[in-house]
A = this chain, B = another copy of it.
């Protein structure tokens, strides 16, 4: 088994934190996306989407998509549970995991992809060129991320972690989102005291260094 990883990229970091929480070590292969390593023809056979992370199993199966990789490890090493403990809880965790990803992480990603010079003509992941940045989308992403923070702050007013009393994959996604967001100078909004309380709690976990 090996994990195609890059130490500076946010999605692989989600997997690394997940693995650290599970106490699992997996050999890694560094794909330097700052040097277009994901566009090498050898890597295209690993993942035609030309994104990282990818988990290659011993039988040669390649699993792309961060949450799919996490799902694999949740199945083979259920403890500690990071994706819920019963039907209701699994649904709540998946709901919050998706809210964090689709409304938060993805909005920050849109803002970054459509504004940072390093992504010029690469407005979508996995495309080496030919996708012009859309400035209006960068602005829209930033506004959407701000709205998401208000919802997240309200949720954290009554819950220790994003999806309730336990640390889950939803916390990982939100935490990595805020780290990634610093690249576009997006910080936790001033009025979101609950997010700041939660952020410090998550940042203090050993897995945050992964």
Q: Cβ of B136 and Cβ of A134 under 8 Å apart?
A: yes
Number of this chain's copies in the assembly equals: 2
A151-B127 Cα distance, complex, nearest whole Å: 14
Asked if A131 CB lies within 8 Å of chain B CBs, one says: yes
Return chain B residues, CB-CB under 8 Å to A91.
Answer: 55, 63, 68-69, 71-72, 75
A116-B153 Cα distance, complex, nearest whole Å: 33
A178-B90 Cα distance, complex, nearest whole Å: 29
Return chain B residues, CB-CB under 8 Å to A136.
Answer: 132, 134, 136-137
Chain A: how many interface residues by the 8 Å CB criterion?
A: 38
A91-B88 Cα distance, complex, nearest whole Å: 21
Asked if A144 CB lies within 8 Å of chain B CBs, one says: yes
Q: Cβ of B87 and Cβ of A76 under 8 Å apart?
A: yes
Q: A123-B140, A140-B124 are in contact. Are A72 and B90 (CB under 8 A)?
A: yes
- Contact of A72 (CB < 8 Å), options: B69, B87, B144: B87
Stretch at the interface among A15-23, A94-102, A194-202: A94-102
A69-B61 Cα distance, complex, nearest whole Å: 28
Give the Cβ gap from A65 to chain B, nearest Cβ, in Å: 5
Asked if A92 CB lies within 8 Å of chain B CBs, one says: yes
Return chain B residues, CB-CB under 8 Å to A131.
Answer: 140
Asked if A64 CB lies within 8 Å of chain B CBs, one says: yes
A57-B90 Cα distance, complex, nearest whole Å: 13
Q: Which 3 A-B pairs have the closest CB atoms?
A: A75-B87, A68-B94, A72-B91
* 11 residue pairs A–B, Cβ–Cβ below 8 Å: A65-B98, A67-B94, A68-B95, A68-B98, A69-B91, A71-B91, A75-B87, A75-B90, A75-B91, A134-B140, A136-B137
